[in-house]
A = this chain, B = another copy of it.
């Protein structure tokens, strides 16, 4: 594709497009909630390299937010988002409304058990049910071959891979590396909530992950010792730890002893902003 990017505002129009003659080759899909940053853009660029058609969705999905979370404050920047998407080579942007996605009487949910009860799932009940449901809907509407997702939401990728495999969806997830600011803070739409002081303190997430990796490479394999050293560093910068977990990078099962398949996943409040990050130990 090379012509101008097209914005598609209804489910019917999106489905009709996928059934039209325009739809051929490999379809790449980048689901987003808008507030696009370089992390999102990198996903679109990966898709552009690999696919014939690149679709991005911009939809702030209410069902993955808890009642006391930041749905109402989540940054909304549609005009800038569309400019960025077009520059990244996106062919179609799908921008449905909640009235379309969750009409009155909506009552069907996709749920993945177990793997959604740990890490972020333990702290955000129903979050992953909202994610698996909206992604099922989007996959059915867009019918992509490949779906591009950032590893910052590491558990999200594991949950969706489980769902795709269990329910025989045809889409394959392409996990893409975390994109970071120059000081290594992971890109996130929620970084916009940080004031100047918090923005500096937020560097401690990456620093604490690096510290665990360094200690592991030096021979420390006890997750409790690794966790403790991360805790000390995070608390030094007045971060409030939500969780620090050492898990198998594929199953997300907790590790008794860290090894080369271990990924450390963290959630930390800096002020009132909850940030997440993660890293392999090798």
Q: Which residues of A contact B (CB under 8 A)?
A: 11, 15, 106-115, 132-133, 136-137, 140-141, 143, 162-163, 166-170
Expressed in whole angstroms, the Cα–Cα distance for A141 and B167 within the complex equals 9
CB A72 to nearest CB in B, in angstroms, measures 25
CB A128 to nearest CB in B, in angstroms, measures 11
Contact among B15, B107, B113, B170 with A162 in the assembled complex (CB-CB below 8 Å): B107
Tell me which of A106, A114, A167, A170 has the highest count of chain B C-beta atoms within 10 A of its own C-beta. A167
Expressed in whole angstroms, the Cα–Cα distance for A137 and B110 within the complex equals 12
Q: Which residue of B lies closest to A171 (CB)?
A: B140
Assembly stoichiometry (copies): 2
Q: Which residue of B lies closest to A160 (CB)?
A: B108
Contact among B11, B113, B132, B168 with A140 in the assembled complex (CB-CB below 8 Å): B168
Expressed in whole angstroms, the Cα–Cα distance for A106 and B34 within the complex equals 32
Contact among B133, B162, B166, B170 with A167 in the assembled complex (CB-CB below 8 Å): B133
Tell me which of A110, A112, A162, A163 has the highest count of chain B C-beta atoms within 10 A of its own C-beta. A110
Expressed in whole angstroms, the Cα–Cα distance for A8 and B77 within the complex equals 50
Q: What B residues does A166 contact at CB under 8 A? A: 106-108, 137
CB A104 to nearest CB in B, in angstroms, measures 11
Query: B170 near A140 (CB under 8 angstroms)?
Result: yes
Q: What B residues does A132 contact at CB under 8 A? A: 108
Query: B107 near A108 (CB under 8 angstroms)?
Result: no
Query: A141 near B168 (CB under 8 angstroms)?
Result: yes
Contact among B108, B140, B141 with A112 in the assembled complex (CB-CB below 8 Å): B108
